[in-house]
Amino acid sequence: MKDERILVTGGAGFIGSHLCGRLIAAGHEVLCVDNYYTGGRRNIAHLIKNERFEAMRHDVTFPLYVEADTIYNLACPASPIHYQFDPVQTLKTSVHGAINMLGLAKRTKAKIFQASTSEVYGDPTVHPQPESYWGNVNPLGPRACYDEGKRAAETLFFDYHRQHKVRVKIARIFNTYGPNMHPQDGRVVSNFIVAALQGNDLTLYGKGDQTRAFCYVSDLVEGIVRLMATPDDVVGPINLGNTGEFTIRELAETVLKLTGSKSKIIYGPLPADDPQQRKPDITLARQTLGWEPKVQLEDGLRETIAYFKKLLAS
């Protein structure tokens, strides 16, 4: 459907900025809302002059009075270094933000997407993680502000759906990387690339044998758009992520190879509640959306390295 009025919260963030670009290219009007806590104006600079794009500084913990046909709720710091800096605000963003956006969707009769996370599975005892798994989350730990905030947001989305018939879609997003990542977001891909380009050591925690599955951002956005195009009875949650599993040590070695860096790999203690394994079961996404990632890790890393090279040189 052309010319929808689409609201994207967290639209100047890493994933949000790519989603805004995709929606503009599809012919929609996009209102990008962001408080710029972790998002950046440079991520949306190429969209500002487009007459169908508008940027608004706003914090979703406060109500927003606009009109929208569709809402994508991506507002929340998503890396540990950022969401642990102000954990109370992180929890408010997930919970109050969900309430405010769901209230807006209820009033405008908009369809609304919630960007949930693989962190709802905690340190999983089931591998890979299917949507039916309830998780193994420490509700009192330093990551709980994010993990439990996203779990509460999912609860709110389902309750608004059941009680108020709001049309909702929920995706659980696994490790994603690509251009527009924040250089100091503390995520492993950006950490390693920035360190390698600057000639600094790459730090592995524990033995570096934790595993992750890394999804390139264009693949993720494709999955989000496909989910939003499904019939109203498809609610989710649906896992979106790559199934190619790599140890953190393998990732570090690949980054060093692709950058040609002489940086060394060093080791540090494991952080609290850091999951040992993280890999999605995407059977539901394959069956329901006809979706699976296409970009191979080395190809995506090359694009991401090129982005950081340009960013660090500016």
Q: In whole angstroms, what is the distance from residue 303 CA to residue 280 CA?
A: 23
Non-local (6+) Cβ contacts of 261 within 8 A are 196, 197, 199, 255
Q: Are 60 and 100 in contact (CB under 8 A)?
A: yes
Q: Are 217 and 190 in contact (CB under 8 A)?
A: no
Distance of CA 203 to the CA centre of its chain: 23
Residue tagged 């890999």 (tokens): 279
Non-local (6+) Cβ contacts of 123 within 8 A are 136, 137, 138, 273, 274, 275, 276
Q: In whole angstroms, what is the distance from residue 158 CA to residue 258 CA?
A: 43
The tokens for 167 are: 């049309």
Q: Among the options 83, 146, 160, 177, which is catalytic?
A: 146
- Active site annotation includes 146: yes
Report CA dihedral (189, 170, 155, 84) to the nearest 10 degrees. Answer: 20
∠ CA 37-43-48, nearest 5°, is 110
What b-and-e string marks burial along 248-261, b requiring 16 or more CB atoms within 10 Å of the CB?
Answer: bbebbbebbebbeb
DSSP readout, 213-262?
Answer: E-EEHHHHHHHHHHHHTS-TT----EEES---EEEHHHHHHHHHHHHT--
The residues that are catalytic are 146
